[in-house]
Amino acid sequence: MTDTLSNIEKKRGGKKAPRFSREPPQQRRAMMIEAATRCLSRGGIGGFTVDAICREAGISRGLINHYFDSLDGLLVEVYRASMYKDVNAHIEAAKRRRAENIGWPPEVALAELIKSNFAPRYFSGENLLLWLSLWAEIATNPHLKAAHRELYNAYRGELAEDIAAVAGARGRSVDAPTLARNFIALVDGLWLEWCLDETVLTPEAAEAAGFEIIEAQVGPLR
């Protein structure tokens, strides 16, 4: 997947069509990422092709090539949007509050971050093929692996910082980075169990379990 889209186009004899000009560039880019996400969700990594994405988005090869230099680059953006969009928004908001010294109780910040993991956008059976495809690709794709490491570390770091803030305010000694890692692993495991068999637990029970692993060390958050 490291070949550029333009090279793929040349090899297949594809011709570039005129680029659309009605939508703002950022909106066009988002549209392509959404179309690529749908292709991956329906067909796995085998369905993540230039032709399929162009058909799904109703665009030309030339347009998709203008915004993404390779399928790897587009796949990374799908990963960011699918798994970390809301989390990154939370991280940026938390950093802004700290920089501006906004008096937001650390318990509220931590509780909101915990809840975000169980929002229907993420904790959804419809995401099973999408997430499994991305996780499998991370193991062998260096570009996606690097993006995963960056995003995961940023997420785990923010979660650990929120955990430490609550623990510190309450005079508790907690290994925040380890607790953050364990929480993330718990969420992934609960989501997978629920996707495979919905009788095992409910999303509400999964959220409760997420709170419990944190609360066991920092105290009540709800």
Which pLDDT does position 15 carry in this prediction? 45
Q: Which of 48, 55, 50, 44 lies closest to 12, judged by CA? A: 50
Final residue of a domain: which of 13, 38, 69? Answer: 69
Q: Are residues 97 and 21 in the same domain?
A: no
The list of the chain residues with pLDDT below 50 reads 2-21
- Domain membership of residue 141 (yes or no) is yes
Is 75 inside a domain boundary?
Answer: no
- 50 and 92 housed in the same domain: no
Q: Are residues 104 and 32 in the same domain?
A: no
- 184 and 101 within one domain: yes
Q: How many domains does the chain have?
A: 2
Same domain (yes/no): 187, 117? yes
For 117, the token pair is 């993991």
The domain that contains 64 carries what CATH number? 1.10.10.60
The domain boundary, picked from 69, 93, 109, lies at 69
Are 150 and 177 in a shared domain? yes
Are residues 106 and 136 part of one domain? Answer: yes
Residue 68 dihedral angles phi and psi, to the nearest 5° = -135, 130
For residue 196, being part of any structural domain is answered with yes
Domain final residue pick, 69, 95, 122:
69
Asked if 161 and 212 sit in the same domain, the reply is yes
Asked whether 161 and 106 are in contact (CB, 8 A), the reply is: no
Residue 169 lies in a domain: yes
- 109-142 tens-digit pLDDT: 899 889 988 988 888 888 888 889 999 999 999 9
> Does a structural domain hold residue 53?
yes
Residues 161 and 57 in one domain: no
DSSP 24-83: -HHHHHHHHHHHHHHHHHHHGGGG--HHHHHHHHT--HHHHHHH-SBHHHHHHHHHIIII
Distance, CA of 85 to chain centre? 6
Expressed as residue numbers, the domain containing 192 is 82-218
Q: Is residue 77 part of a domain?
A: no
Whether residues 150 and 42 fall in one domain? no
Whether 89 and 65 share a structural domain: no
The answer to pTM > 0.85 is no
Question: Is 128 a member of any domain?
Answer: yes
The CATH number assigned to the domain holding 90 equals: 1.10.357.10
Q: 157-184 pLDDT, tens per residue?
A: 989 999 999 999 999 999 999 999 999 9
132 within some domain: yes
Asked if residue 148 and residue 92 are part of one domain, the reply reads: yes
